[in-house]
Each structure stands twice: as structure tokens, then as C-alpha cells.
Amino acid sequence: MVSAMQTIFSFHKEGRNKYTVPQFGAKSYDPIPEHLCRGKLNLVDVSEVDVVRHYRKLSSLNFGVDNGMYPLGSCTMKYNPKVNDVVAGLPQLTRQHPATVEELSQGSLQIMYSLQEMLCAITGMKQFTLMPSAGAHGELTSVMIIKKYFETKGEKRNIILIPDSAHGTNPASVAMCGFTVKEIPSASNGDVDIHALRAAIDDNVAAMMLTSPNTLGLFDRNIMAIADIVHSKGALFYCDGANLNAIVGKVRPADLGFDIMHVNLHKTFSTPHGGGGPGSGPIGVVEKLTHFMPVPVIAKKDNQYYLDYDRPQSIGRVHSYYGNFLVMLRAYTYILMLGASGLKQVAEHAVVNANYLRVKLQKHFNLPYNRICMHEFVINDEGMPDGITTNEIARRLHDYGFHAPTVYFPLIVHGAMMIEPTETEHKDTLDAFVDTMIAIKNEAHTNPEILKAAPQTTPVRKVDAVLAARKPVLKWEE
């Protein structure tokens, strides 16, 4: 078994990378003059077979959706159809340099233009841009637009309202644009506390950011009333669309009163996105915000696609070139493969699967907000024996071949485990997950040591998550 810590450098042996070049009898060129070369490159001498075996082994050390169920709440780790990768690997698309002139980029521009149109149809928004790299970048771009909107109107507003259940990227995006966050508490049923919202809204508020459905996996039953309250003082209503998977094809956020939103193509519309990338976080806006969209805008005139830079009120560029094209291709393929009725089924099956798990687990685990959920729900470690926390349960799941759910989020639930099965798991897998959760709970009572020592079957055992985040080792050094 290869050690997880072994790097390619440990296979180095002087002179091992011998290879033969066919002799064609052609005249050889002079080598590059010495003074133009760097000093000795720190490269390894390894054979081709060493390289293949090493990286093939490394690839099997990871856990992904292709290995087993990955119920990571909020992140929508769904199975990614392989046809997406086939399309995203077509040389006609991958070999095009982004600086190619518009006349020779009509195909790529057409794909981007139609993807934007499909996102408008799905969300009810007037215009989309595909430029932001991921959800958080979409939030940032949106808050910049919100800022510009009020500046243009000559209004000074400095507050953005965010519920206490929100993802950490929401307040971060707000702070980066110089706004102040005002937190809105959740009511005991998990919805926004409407009274607290009424008390907080005034004409200093630029916007409210709401995740819909929210990070407890609940669809806020007062959503239309919230939109009215936000709009009553001229503020904008922002939808964090990371959970669009639950309502895609069923509900259009614009119809709920949202003015601006981001979509995570790599969640709802599939793309492998473990380990922080790659992503794509398009944003959509209602009519009155379209002038502020980042440049260039992909436009169409006389059946020709072009890049429109003539947008005097635009917030400017937010990305080099036009965004993460290969993620767009995967989402485009996914949407076209499913069609309108298929997308609707995505939402329906995701919600049915989550509720199936919720009901099966509610007899065994504590559910702080136990009502019909959308595509995910939250349980916690309440009632576990002393010393057994969410972390131990999560680690033990890995021994059973499941990835852990999202843990300790949302912050308003102590010891939270946020479970999102997605639509791509069938009943047998869901049943196996339930059986495993119950088995782990029994172990917690009868054999707690096994939970504390977990995981034992993974290539890397307990990791120090704080150290890994604070002092990442990103390159090899002798």
C-alpha cells in the first residue's frame, strides 16, 4: 500500500527517465543558448510506469461521489453524469483560446448566450452573467451591483440584513463591499423572525440576503411577506441560490419577489466540485439592475453574437475573460439532457429523498426543526453519550463507506449534521445510510472507543482540520 504521504520525489533515481527518440535522420538544431536557460530544474528522474502507477494510486485515495453517497448538506454533491465531461472535453471547445476574435468564437458565444437564457427561464430573472467563478464570487458581484444601484440613485444606504442561519460567505461579501451586516434572528420554527425583520428595516437598508430554501432545508412560508417588507423601504431582495436544487423547475425565485440572485452551477447543475473547485456562480437580475452587470455582456444582433463593452453604468470586470467555461459546458449539457420536465423531477426526487431519510431518522436522532423539509434537513448530537459529538459520528461514517454530512453548520444548531442525499441516490442506498446511522448510534452507547478512534479504514486517519486550514502545505520542499 502506497503511503498517503509519499510524493513522486521519493521514486527519484538518477538517470531513470531514459527514453528513446526515433531517429529520422533530420538535422538537429542548435540547443537553446546556455544564457537563456534557467539553472538546473528540480525535476525527478522517474520512469513512465512509475508516474502512471503513482498517480493512479493517489487517485484512489480520495473519496468522491463516484465512490459512494456524499450527503454534504448545502453543497449538493450529486452524481455527475459522464456525458457532461465528454462535452467539456471536446477539442473544438477546449482548444479555443479565450482571446479568439468574436467572429471565430460564435459557437462558444452561442452556448454561453443560451445558457444565460436557460437560467433566465429557470429563475424568472431578466438577465444573467456567467462571469463569477463560484457562489461566493456571485455574491460579491451582486453586492457590488446593489451598491452601484443606490449610488446611481444618489441614496446612501449602508446596511444589509442577513438571517442568523446564513452561509458565512454572505456576511463576508457584504463586508468586502463596505456595508454593515445586521443579523436577523430565526423564529423557533426555522423561518425568518418576521417581527425582528419589521423592526430592522428602514431606509438605511440596501438589501436583505436570504438563502431560499434556507440552510435548515426549510422553505420559508412567509417568503412573499418578507419580500414585501424588504421592498416597502426601497431595499433589494437577494436570493442566495445555492439551494436551488430543491425548487429548480418548480418555483422561479423572481416570482417570490427576489431582485437579484446567484446560482451555483457546480451544485444544482452538476460538476465535480470537491476540494474547493472548480465552480461557476452566475448571477441573475431583474430589469432595473441590468445596466450594472459586469462587462462584457454577451449580446446578439442580426444572428451574430458579440461582446458588449458599451455599458457606461457597469460595475466593470469581475473575472479575466468570461468565467469558467468548462463548468458552463457541463451545466449546459446537464440542462439540455434533462429538459424542463427532467429538471422538475430533480427537485421532486431530491425533496422526496430528503424527507424519506428525515422520517426514518427522526426516531433515532434529534431534529431541532422537524417539519417537511426541502432537499436537506438538520439533525444534531443531542442525546449522545458523553464524549460523543458530531465529529465522532461523522468520522465513523467514513469507516462504513459513506462521506460525512456537512457538520457544525448552520451555526444556529448545536452540533449540527446537515444531510442532503440528492436526487441521485436510490432507496437501497438511502436505507443503507439509515441502517448505518442507527448502527453508529448503538456503537456510541456500547463501544464508544470505536467512534473515538474513527476513521480506521481511510488512507489518512484523523486529520487536524484547523492546522490544515491555517498552515497548508501546498508544495514539496526538500
Which residues of this chain interact with ligand PLP, rule CB under 6 A? 74-75, 134-136, 167, 169, 211, 215, 240, 242, 264, 279, 281
Q: Which three cell numbers stand for residue 32?
A: 537553446
- Is the CB of 141 or the CB of 333 nearer to ligand PLP? 141
The residues, any chain, with a CB within 8 Å of residue 136's CB and separated by 6 or more, are 169, 172, 173, 281
- Is the CB of 267 or the CB of 398 nearer to ligand PLP? 267
- Is the CB of 213 or the CB of 249 nearer to ligand PLP? 213
The amino acid occupying position 287 is E
DSSP SS3 for 349: helix
Smallest separation (angstroms) from ligand PLP to the CB of 75: 6
Smallest separation (angstroms) from ligand PLP to the CB of 235: 20
- Is the CB of 139 or the CB of 443 nearer to ligand PLP? 139
The residues, any chain, with a CB within 8 Å of residue 11's CB and separated by 6 or more, are 44, 46, 50, 54
Distance in angstroms (rounded) separating the CA atoms of residues 476 and 474? 7
- Is the CB of 190 or the CB of 455 nearer to ligand PLP? 190
φ and ψ at residue 329, rounded to 5 degrees:
-60, -40
Smallest separation (angstroms) from ligand PLP to the CB of 260: 14
CB 54 within 8 A of CB 2: yes
Smallest separation (angstroms) from ligand PLP to the CB of 281: 5
Distance in angstroms (rounded) separating the CA atoms of residues 307 and 44? 45
Smallest separation (angstroms) from ligand PLP to the CB of 211: 5
Q: Which three cell numbers stand for residue 233?
A: 423601504
The residues, any chain, with a CB within 8 Å of residue 263's CB and separated by 6 or more, are 119, 123, 138, 241, 244, 269, 281, 282, 283, 284
- Is the CB of 108 or the CB of 324 nearer to ligand PLP? 324
At residue 69's C-alpha, the angle toward residues 63 and 70, to 5°, is 65
Smallest separation (angstroms) from ligand PLP to the CB of 73: 8
- Is the CB of 127 or the CB of 215 nearer to ligand PLP? 215
Q: Which three cell numbers stand for residue 87?
A: 462535452
φ and ψ at residue 453, rounded to 5 degrees:
-85, -10
- Is the CB of 135 or the CB of 323 nearer to ligand PLP? 135
CB 193 within 8 A of CB 186: yes
Smallest separation (angstroms) from ligand PLP to the CB of 127: 21
- φ/ψ region of 95 (left if φ > 0, alpha if ψ in -120 to 50, else beta) reads alpha
Q: Which helix (H) or strand (E) holds 49?
A: helix 48-59
- Going by C-alpha positions, the residue among 345, 301, 348, 293 that lies closest to residue 317 is 293
Q: Which three cell numbers stand for residue 410?
A: 448552520
Residue 201's CB is within 10 A of a number of other CB atoms, namely: 22
Smallest separation (angstroms) from ligand PLP to the CB of 276: 8
Look at the block and give the residue holding cell 431519510: 357
- Is the CB of 116 or the CB of 169 nearer to ligand PLP? 169
Smallest separation (angstroms) from ligand PLP to the CB of 154: 31
Q: Which helix (H) or strand (E) holds 236?
A: strand 236-241
- Is the CB of 266 or the CB of 441 nearer to ligand PLP? 266
Smallest separation (angstroms) from ligand PLP to the CB of 303: 34
